[in-house]
Amino acid sequence: MSSVGRRGRPETTPLAVGVALDFVQTAVHCMLRQRGVYPPELFQRAAKLGVPVWASRHPDLTAYIASVLDAARVDVLSGRVSQILVSIQDASGVVVELVRFEMAVFDDAESDVDAGELEAHLRACLIKLDAAESSLAPLPPGCTFQMLIEMHEGDDAGPTAGGGALAAQWVPGEAHEGNMSGAGVCQLPLKTIDAGPLWIRVSVLEHRARKADAALTQ
């Protein structure tokens, strides 16, 4: 698990964390459409922070993404969450791609979040996400995805009360990033955002060898 950052307090920058999670939600919609995990007709054009984006039109998909992030909100705000992952698996369940949103909330930052500056960073990241498609190898047919929340190393207390019904259903799991190691793994850094007490780093890990193997078996 990532160990970047220190723990903040629940009262630290709630509005900024809300904006950041809203950005993550938009980014997940865009990546699922761009990577072809779901048919393009399940998405429609929208705008976020002045940037054209893709938004899911399927109620179950939209609800799932929103519920995961809502369930994680309290723990992101308290600084317990180290990263949010979008894990894309091939038809046999092998992880071939990870979209990674590392984050930290600091309780001793010298300055508060500048909302305009944060939105400008997130806007730039959405633009880079749109361009990332050309740098990634195609996904094999039949891929699925799941969203994962990783806590900081050593934090095994489970989700904080108040995270909603989905948080109450969370169970501990293995660090997912370990499945993306070895030869054939490439990392595409997209954007690092340092906005006072809020720090975010967005990147994509892909296993090109696994993608090629999965494509050959289709």
DSSP-derived letter for residue 40 is G
Q: Which of 68-77, 80-89, 141-150, 164-173 has the lowest mean pLDDT?
A: 164-173
- Calculate helix-pair angle for 14-34, 115-132, nearest 10 degrees: 10
> Measured between alpha carbons, how far is 117 from 52 in angstroms, rounded to an integer?
19
* 3 found inside a domain: no
Q: Which residue has the higher pLDDT, 181 or 124?
A: 124
SS3 60: helix
* 62 found inside a domain: yes
Domain count, the chain: 1
Asked if 58 and 119 touch (Cβ cutoff 8 Å), the reply is no
* 106 found inside a domain: yes
* 186 found inside a domain: yes
Following DSSP, what letter does each residue of 94-119 receive, concatenated?
Answer: -EEEEEEEEEEE-SS-SS---HHHHH
> Measured between alpha carbons, how far is 150 from 83 in angstroms, rounded to an integer?
5
* 5 found inside a domain: no
Q: How is residue 122 written in tokens?
A: 């997130």
DSSP-derived letter for residue 134 is G
Side chain identity at residue 137, one-letter code: A
Tell me the residue range of the domain where 186 lies: 14-217
What is the tens place of the pLDDT at every residue in 86-109? 999 999 998 999 999 999 888 765
CATH of the domain at 141: 3.30.900.10
φ/ψ of 82, rounded to 5, equals: -95, -35
pTM given for the model: 0.83
Ordered alpha helix ranges (H), 90-186? 115-132, 165-168
Q: Which of 53-62, 108-117, 123-132, 155-164 has the lowest mean pLDDT?
A: 155-164
What is the tens place of the pLDDT at every residue in 123-162? 999 999 999 989 998 999 999 999 999 998 766 555 554 5
* 1 found inside a domain: no
Q: What is the pLDDT confidence band of residue 216, given thresholds at 50, 70 and 90? A: low
* 93 found inside a domain: yes
* 7 found inside a domain: no
